[in-house]
Structure 1
């Protein structure tokens, strides 16, 4: 299970970092083209808007997977461990239900409805832009299932454990 989490984390991290780099470059190009060349870029604003949608929605799955979403834990921190684990499993189940009904089913319907609508500057189907919702829903479900599995094993949810313990090298000890 750790391998799945590590691969998903790495893929989303690389995707997010690359997308941010491209977004910064295009935003800089938009400023340069508008104020220096006096010829505003026609595609940049639309690309940045769509990229921000993808980055935000995929980020939802990533944060849910890391178990770093916003939460109020004042009472939960004072509960017995078994009760806290049970409640966290309930929360993960609610996330799964939300991902299924809102992100996957709702996102798929919105994508299908908007498939024939074409964006003005980029000339791409708006349905493809909205594919971020079902994709993020699937990723959220995978992460929530991994979190539940971790909690049932007694491990903290969203944290990958090292595959093998770190061993001290005899020459590195500084006593």
Structure 2
């Protein structure tokens, strides 16, 4: 059962990593296009700055979820590693529950509320005309990934498989 969950989480992480690579490539192309239109045409295409901002938000939040899963997130694992071996498991469990609480309450529930409110108010972006609720969708999506990864880390901690932090690919 534990190995099955681990494979699912690893597969989701790989998919997220590829999506992040595509989003970063699109972000680079968007910024280059904005610079080219400014210097060649004399005026920057109005939508490039807005798209870059939204892509950066999505990359940051989803990238944070991936970093958390691959244990590359400095704030969570660094301090736990400073304690004695006997205390580490208890601290990891406590840390996982704190992260799970915040992922669910702030990201999933709070983010879903932000998305709902933006959609109800029919807020749209000025240049692209997108619904802001769709832009804000990354908040609960990232929260779901963080919650899922935290649950997988909890299972790993209870089974004793988490003593050596895994490295990012």
Smaller-chain TM-score bracket = 0.7 to 0.9
Cα distance change on mapping 1:37 and 1:107 into 2, 3 Å: same
Whether 2:96 is the aligned partner of 1:89: answer no
> Rg: which structure is higher?
1
Q: Could you list the runs of 5+ residues in structure 1 that have no partner in the other structure?
A: 161-175
Which residue is 2:142 aligned to?
136
What is the TM-score of this pair, normalised by structure 1?
A: 0.84
Q: Distance in 1 between matches of 2:133 and 2:73?
A: 28
- Alpha-carbon offset, residue 60 of structure 1: 1.9
Cα distance change on mapping 1:93 and 1:75 into 2, 3 Å: closer
Q: Distance in 2 between matches of 1:151 and 1:99?
A: 18
Match for 2:38 among 30, 34, 42?
Answer: 34
Structure in which a larger fraction of residues adopt helix: 2
Which residue is 1:98 aligned to?
102
Whether 2:85 is the aligned partner of 1:77: answer no
Q: Could you list the runs of 5+ residues in structure 2 that have no partner in the other structure?
A: none
What is the TM-score of this pair, normalised by structure 2?
A: 0.87
Match for 1:56 among 56, 60, 63?
Answer: 60
- Alpha-carbon offset, residue 74 of structure 1: 5.7
Cα distance change on mapping 1:41 and 1:134 into 2, 3 Å: same
- Alpha-carbon offset, residue 27 of structure 1: 0.4
Whether 2:131 is the aligned partner of 1:125: answer yes
Q: Distance in 2 between matches of 1:24 and 1:94?
A: 35
Match for 2:112 among 108, 114, 129?
Answer: 108
Cα distance change on mapping 1:82 and 1:123 into 2, 3 Å: same
Q: CA RMSD for the aligned pairs?
A: 1.8
Misfit runs of 4+, over 6 Å:
none
Q: Distance in 1 between matches of 2:79 and 2:115?
A: 39
With 131-140 and 58-67 compared, the bigger mean Cα shift is at 58-67
Match for 2:166 among 146, 159, 162?
Answer: 159
Aligned residues between the structures: 159
- Alpha-carbon offset, residue 75 of structure 1: 7.1
